[in-house]
């Protein structure tokens, strides 16, 4: 699974001009399922998101997780993370998992994150979404978890 994580002070997602998910301090996670991802992959991703120490401690060092700071998570499906731009100028997205299977894994990730008791919000899988992200730092981390 491809994941891009941004540490934020706040964020929201709109679909058809309505806010459907919002968080204050926490993480915005853009996720893209790729072929060979499994439920086990999703469990690894959820564990990494919840334990990734990218929030500052009292000494200003990135030493705290989203759990430690009482933060929230906003998970957004984004198949464009699988873009291949090696040939030409138009991205190729064949590296992304097929929609039906990807949606199942996305929903499993959302459920798994909610099971951690971290406040978890989401957009709508496959929808056109508008996001407001107030990046904190800025801190942006890219993961490729198999």
Catalytically active residues are 80
Residue with tokens 């540490």: 7
- Residue 71's φ and ψ, nearest 5 degrees, are -85, 180
Coil vs helix vs strand at 52: coil
Other CB atoms within 10 Å distance of the CB of residue 12: 18
Write out the two tokens for 146. Answer: 């198999």
Task: Round to whole Å and give the CA distance between 129 and 12.
Answer: 10
Task: Round to whole Å and give the CA distance between 109 and 34.
Answer: 14
């Amino acid at each position: 699974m491809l994941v891009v994580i941004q540490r934020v002070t706040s964020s929201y997602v709109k679909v058809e001009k309505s806010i459907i998910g919002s968080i204050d301090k926490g993480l915005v996670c853009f996720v893209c399922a790729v072929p060979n991802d499994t439920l086990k992959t999703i469990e690894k991703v959820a564990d990494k998101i919840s334990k990734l120490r990218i929030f500052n401690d009292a000494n200003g060092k990135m030493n705290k997780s989203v759990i430690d700071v009482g933060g929230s998570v906003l998970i957004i499906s984004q198949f464009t993370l699988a873009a291949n731009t090696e040939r030409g100028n138009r991205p190729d997205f064949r590296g992304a998992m097929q929609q039906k299977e990807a949606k199942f894994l996305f929903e499993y990730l959302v459920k798994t994150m909610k099971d951690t008791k971290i406040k978890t919000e989401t957009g709508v899988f496959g929808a056109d979404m508008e996001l407001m992200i107030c990046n904190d730092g800025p801190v942006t981390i890219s993961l490729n978890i198999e």
